[in-house]
Amino acid sequence: MNNAGIAIRGAIEETSEDEWDRIMAINMKGVFLGTKYAIPAMRRVGGGSIINISSGAGIAPAPDTSAAYAATKGGVRLFTKATAVQHAKDHIRCNSVHPGPIDTPMVRGPQTDAARLAALQERVPMGRLGSAEEVAYGVLYLASDEASFVTGSELVIDGGRTAQ
Catalytic residues: 69
User: Taking the CA of residue 136 as centre, how many other CA atoms within 13 Å lie in the half-sphere pointing to its CB?
Assistant: 5
Residue 150 near residue 90, CB atoms below 8 Å: no
Q: 127-131 contacts: CB < 8 A, separation 24 or more?
A: 127/159, 128/159, 129/101, 129/102, 129/103, 130/99, 130/100, 130/101, 130/102, 130/103, 130/157, 130/158, 130/159, 131/102, 131/103
63 SS3 class: coil
Determine the 3-state secondary structure of 130 from DSSP. Answer: strand
Residue 33: closest CA among 52, 6, 60, 61: 52
Task: For residue 9, give the 3-state DSSP assignment.
Answer: coil
